Amino acid sequence: MLFNYLCMGMGQQAAGGEGQQGSPVTMILLLVGMMAVMYFIMIRPQKKKQAEDQKLRDSVQIGDEITTIGGINGRVVTVKEDSIVIETGADRTKMKLMRWAIQTNDTANARAAEEKAAQEAAKAAEKEEKKAGKRRSKKEDD
């Protein structure tokens, strides 16, 4: 209904029982608006996700524990330009995989979690220090 209203020219009167065509400017503005909405809702977030995934795949190092898109867990033994070799299982079976098959880098995720926990602990210690300093200054004032 809103689309029909916009297409009819937003306020143009129908002449003599015939329906008027909407102005071309209105149609163009409507299409541009729809494209802008699609870009910000669909395309932009997808590009950000692809950039993050590429960064993850490029940061894989020897010794990292990874999970592939097929659900295989393993440790990276060799890193090449477009492929990696991982070691899986107790019998240390080696598999060659393409870099695009990496879903998560479990070692990097664990490192990031540890760093975040350390930062939170440092912030908590800083807050406690500030509270203790305020208590000391309050006692000195009394």
Tens digit of each residue's pLDDT (9 = 90 or more) over 19-76: 556 788 999 999 999 999 999 999 999 999 999 999 989 989 999 999 999 999 999 9
For the chain, percent of residues with pLDDT exceeding 90 = 54
In this predicted structure, what is the pLDDT of residue 5?
59
- Rounded Cα–Cα distance for residues 110 and 142 (Å): 48
In this predicted structure, what is the pLDDT of residue 112?
84
In this predicted structure, what is the pLDDT of residue 130?
84
CATH code that applies to domain 58-118:
2.30.30
| Sequence-distant (≥ 6) Cβ neighbours of residue 41 within 8 angstroms | none
What does the domain layout of the chain look like in residue ranges?
A: 58-118
In this predicted structure, what is the pLDDT of residue 132?
80
In this predicted structure, what is the pLDDT of residue 96?
95
In this predicted structure, what is the pLDDT of residue 128?
86
What's the whole-number mean pLDDT along residues 100-117? 88
DSSP, residue by residue, the chain: -HHHHHHTTSSPPPBTTBPPPPPHHHHHHHHHHHHHHHIIIIIHHHHHHHHHHHHHHHT--TT-EEEETT--EEEEEEE-SSEEEEEETTTTEEEEEEGGGEEEEHHHHHHHHHHHHHHHHHHHHHHHHHHHHHHHHHHHH-
pTM comes to: 0.56
Tens digit of each residue's pLDDT (9 = 90 or more) over 60-81: 999 999 999 999 999 999 999 9
